[in-house]
Chains A and B, each alone.
Chain A
């Protein structure tokens, strides 16, 4: 295995030397991985520019096979025995590394989220990618290292894997399969072909959905009924649809429908278009006509469509859904002709189609804002004036001229801003502009920063602000003549005049004090519970490993404290022979025990720190103090770093029970007092009182950002606790129920990412809008003291802030409206910077334009955040109703004003928003909007949503599911995560193993009758009965296991999160958990997808007619 290690990695001891020896080994292994990780991070994240896109990544990730898995594996397998103690850090686990498994180190590195981006395909590739449709299947691409296994495409796999379950509705039992299944299967072989045929390919994107393509074919037949496609294609289709449409048609055979939209659609295609005229690139973008066509019956399922991933898609429409559809009176009532024939084919209803390939996207083309690709797709941005959509995206890519228009559309106008978002490695890094002493050029009235949309006039002597319209004198030093095109001659050389995002070096005027040092203060719970569950050991180990990831240099300061019913600080000064423990016993009225020396330069205390972290778990081994003075400890730690500000990382394991801000187990109280509990259920999702909020505001004032790692096995009142991170720009990490076996690795990776991700301190953010629009409010994790600005003691690449906008005037049709976000922050290396992100969008007075340019992902993220926002303050029913109505209103508006009249009996969805019902349904079934969950689970969901980025918003409610019992070999460049299975239990068979992830958790469902060989290969167990409750994914020496590990690591990379993995099996709570994520199923928290569509349709019809 050693061979795998990157050259740089300090390999020496890692290997097999003394696997058994516990102490030293623990650390070494970990270190190595760290270093790896470091390299990765540095390369990708911190020093984006330098990276040759592909090269660096390759090394880290390329090795995936062993890397990821081994790490985890060794730890686990071996670990279990030696592990008597919960504490041992993940690294330790790896140690014992069984020779076969692979180098222990790998564990860490693979998991490391940061590098994720790097994986991306090399820049050049986009073209290919675009063309490819079914990611999984295609061997075609130049893929260098296609593993042999891949060769055998799905077909082969199927049989073995026992995919049989497909049976059409009627045939559930295996026996039937052969017959029924046959069609799909047979088609299976077709796959190879499919890839080949260009036409097919184009569909690719949809194909991705696999289901989609098959669906496509059905369409036409169905088409017979109504002109399903019509509605959609018309409006939406225009964009991306066109190309695809064409392709579609070929298959679909339903000519009429699609056709019209197709051609015109071109505009949409832009990005996809790039490379060879290949059809529609990522299907995701403008998958043409997926609108739901209620009426259609899936006629011929077998067909060519089957070609695709037969597995999921091939599935014949289960009878049930159909029946329900037909049964639906609503449709008939509307008088739709369809009634008789109408059925909703579950296989044809809209589903997300993940794109497999990177899109090359230019933010502006032909001096026009270019609508962004879906947030969830893989794209590479070229900043040509507008900012990258990663940093800022609007719910609608065209701005309605009037408030009325917006209201009519039923849509939201908001910006989602992720100011420090991770760029794609292939993207040009953000340029830093130094105006030296004079500071960045700004409008003297509204203080907007210079940007590409400021118009220079009068030979460049003056410029007009695109935000407020004021005309300013150009500073003499900044003057430049204009060229014939009216632009400054130097516009292309100056990043601030040609890039949507630039960073200015801040001058003294932007500082109230010297930029703060990078201060990290770790606060660890050592109460009895924390010690006994191994949480303390895990935390110490994680911190210890992460120390080396802290920024180098004299400006990095570190402090540490532990707490139970008292608070223990440590004097880490080097002069001391050993750390000195300072206890603050007064938890009602806290203070810091030393003015200095509690927080010390990292370089001065490294040894002490390591020593200390090693000894903390032992030192408190016999601690019998069950109480936890969380609030007091946080307050005390705050006092310790108050003078400089900094990051406070808290590891908490039990409900804070004593001292300032102590909490009670009100969840239990709520349960015992049911009558009150029912009525005021949502109160439990609110902070219990203002104590912590008050504290948090003070923290924010002194630039202290608090992150809390909750490693608990009980109720801990996240609702109250989370107020602190939320107000200070931090976040809560939640490990419930904490497992000393499987969670330390995640804890470490989370912590590492927390520290190494791009971030800034003592930040202030403000969004300015062109005249006519103003900011209504901000939403996210921050502190707000004055209405216009947002204070962010900490801001990092994962944090997103939603900015709701409102009209205060009419806009000029045809003009452009600009939004500028300025983030003033201090880098970890102590530079004061202003990141200015500018987006200029066209204004429109056409409702149809609004629908065409609606950005589904962004809109849904807004939905999600608004809903989450309301949950704690409104009764659940009300929130659910509001969510549903939001969806209905948008669709109603479209139906009413944009759709053709003829389609009255159909549910017509705007192309851009065709998935809105599905996501809305998923949202209704999400943890936050269910009332059967644990209070803390709901609270953490709400907390998580509040800063969630757009790309992660959809997976959170609509997870991604793939089958892993028969993973195909894939080309290196292809997307590992595919094909994706619809979230319906029909697609889950008893002999399959499925992985479902939502960006936070990763559930692996093991059917009851899975081939024991596969189980052995993947998990080292022989039957589903042996599934452990605490699970650590290991990599075994077989291709399947390697692939699964690759897959998991790829997912972790994509999500920038080390997902928790949990095994689920049928018939126990874990299984129920898994099935609760299958949002298309009917379950206690909501109707099935089809039912929901019917419901929505009926509502619309009712409103139309009323």
Chain B
């Protein structure tokens, strides 16, 4: 089906009056109805492409506020958060835009495709129902950009992941292996239960008569060669003589399921040369037939024939439900350079939706992604890590739409504006359904197809700024191997918040260096072993109160920062790692002792209410790995099944820990030292040599952090 597309002409005609009609960007929208044809044309485009830009729209990003990306995310925790997001939310739109350099036109040709996808439960798989989460703010956001939810849910293309396909095929295999066994059993039960009542017995007798009549007629017919005389005209509709697999048969229509069971029973019991079969007909409705068979071996053959056919049917329907995954398989098998913008989450979504469950660790994930997609480029990293491009970007934000308008103004505005032509720019033409154009109005932002197109344009322009000359580039050479790009390939932002970059081909993690000057909150390097997570404290306590409270015990510089995870939980970053175990030990002993001294203890303010829990960073990771997502962190910890209040760390340095424990005990056993505890601990800290080694920068930073948090 070719879509005629008169918009360019229309646009020219009304260019004075129309300013920004949303209908003006040529995008190929793909739904259920045109998926097959779109896939076959896309196949050619991808095969010919130099690179393929992609973009995804999801129903949400974070399943709970505390799962948001923080500065305090260690890379494994960051992965767990991405994993949670990819597992819970659905992808509802997938933009694919293959870009090909056309040496004749000296420009890129791209075919932006906008797929609406929606996974339906098309196969009778066992177990849990397909479900996905929607984040209300994301849905609102999509609605703001006029996302067409009807197109997605009513006509979206469904899909199966590789893992789901394997499972379904295995299921089919096992079903057809021991089906005979199962049906025999169910039959036996029927015999036991139902043939006791009179109506059933009478019905069975009647059926027996009719079947023998039919069989008799059939045999006579074969011997005598005369016409088949259906003697039971009254039930012609119910007993329809047909041919089934070259054998005479009766198709049973209009019986209740109970009656069918009785007929099945009669056939089994009284007719050796008849076989009862239940087969799925053309329109997926099942058909019940009684087939005449010549011998036991003929029966076996028939059964096998039917079974094989059913198995093939079942396998066909599984193949048919692969749907949109064909596009992913295509991208993976062609090994083209994939271009995305800040696309770590996108890749995780692709993995979990189209390949299989996400691995438990980031390392495993990275190595398998690299297998499926050997070359990925992230334009956000490209723009931030290269000084030439940074200059080009004039230090503006690297959001996709901003990058697009800064780097490709001539594309963003269509070719209408000629005054920009002086700037060296890569030309891009759009082709949809064999209609090419280089004139258009801007598309709808956050429509996956248009976003993919913008990403591709940004990448093409960035390449030209890096000095890649597409005219010199031979079409056979993979762009990913270009030496000017090599250092940027397969780098993804693990977390944009703290600028951690992961290399998909090596698994190495690096922190962003070039762009760091852009970041406003430049934190000191976070040592995760110095972090304690505290939750369930009285709700009126703010970061500053908690800091003050702990500082009273361990000295004013013991706490580097206090960071709110959400309103019910904070990270407390200590200046030294051993303070973590000291703090947890102390808290543990305060939890146990409910005497007046503990009440007077400076930490009592934090422990008020008796629900305050504390643990090391590892516990935070554990909580993040749970599949549950409660809105508040404190509720989440409860839901994960944490029943203790303090989890002590098993320190590698046992003696130190014992010492501190003893100290705490001594303090608590002495009833007159409420005030002294404070002083003593304070002294401990200030006498400590490592404390004085803290550079003044770090201290200032720590105050800065605190203040930033307060504001």
Judge: A and B partners, yes or no: no
A: which residues have CB within 8 A of B?
none
